[in-house]
Amino acid sequence: MRWIQKLSLCVGLGAAALAAVAHAQQQQFVNVLTGGQSGVYYPLGVALSQVYAKSIPNARATAQVTKASAENLNLLQAGRGELAFTLGDALSDAWKGDAEAGFPKKLDKLRGLSATYNNYIQIVANADAGIKTLADLKGKRVSVGAAKSGTELNARAIFKAAGIAYADLAKVEYLPFGESVELIKNRQLDATLQSAGLGVASIRDLATSVKIVVVPVPADVVTKVGDAAYQGAVIPANTYTGQTQDVSTAAIPNFLVTHSGVSDELAYQMAKQMYENLDTLHAAHNAAKAIARDNAIKGMPVPLHPGAERYYKEVGLIK
């Protein structure tokens, strides 16, 4: 009888082990690569992870704080994430393998999931610093975003088009949005360039703490950038406390990107569930209200993931 009991125990343990393996195989990990917590990518990434956890079977979804675009794309190429937010110019540079932009080799595993909303170049200064134009930034202390981030790449492009070099600035800080704002509040910085959706939390925080000036980026400077991803745009009056007039600037599209190692079914579900739960994203940040399925594949610099393509065919976006 004892050997029968032992055999039964072994069979039971074996079945439990097989069940555990089967469960692990069924579980799908969805790590959404975002940006800093005071930007727009992060709250939208958290909202997406919540949508996926509820609506994709056996999904274990998380949102990861990162340095945004460039880091996100390199992490995707390495298979250390399933979905990432990125700026369009950074995505194009990654696909081409632009070493100056932080991509020594072409990131050939990247696959598109969807276009999202536009980032706006938002250059904000403490009103006491006497900065009203791009030229006034010369000799001032400016934060340009984390080194080699999408924001910093935008800063390089805009400053170059305006005839400004980093050497013209009194001090250059490579800091995330939140830290940049704190230094301006403490009068250790004069201005910050932030590439983000309208109404970004960091600038809203700054505008309620000190009197600010939103510095315009004139249309001719946007044209001189020479990149189709940069389009003339406007930051509407009253986007921030104390900003009483429209301000001209540049806008750059954002994309959600995955990689070729993600299964077709998971990519299909990520696209489908995002568009079927847009209200959750709208609640997370106002910038998400610009996301529209009709624009999902417009301007995509990399090939669409076959799973996402299947969804867009299903809904008639691709014939």
pLDDT digits (tens, 9 = 90+) for 274-296: 999 999 999 999 999 999 999 99
What string of DSSP letters covers 97-120? T-GGGT-SS--TTEEEEEEEEEEE
pLDDT digits (tens, 9 = 90+) for 218-261: 999 999 999 889 999 999 999 999 999 999 999 999 999 999 99
The reported pTM is 0.84
On the question of a common fold for 7-117+254-314 and 119-252, the answer reads: yes
CATH superfamily of 119-252: Periplasmic binding protein-like II (3.40.190.10)
| Nearest CA-CA partner of 206 in 235, 171, 180 | 180
How far apart are alpha carbons 220 and 291 in whole angstroms?
28
Neighbours of 310 (CB within 10 A): 17
Residue 214: the pLDDT is 98
How far apart are alpha carbons 274 and 279 in whole angstroms?
9
Average pLDDT over residues 49-69: 96
How far apart are alpha carbons 213 and 272 in whole angstroms?
41
CATH 1.10.3720.10 describes domain 7-117+254-314:
no
Alpha-carbon distances, residue 218 vs 18, 93, 222 (angstroms): 64, 24, 7
Residue 100: the pLDDT is 86
Which residues are CB-neighbours of 129 under 8 A, at least 6 positions away?
140, 190, 191, 213
- Dig out the tokens for 146 from the structure: 């984390």
Domain positions in the chain:
7-117+254-314, 119-252
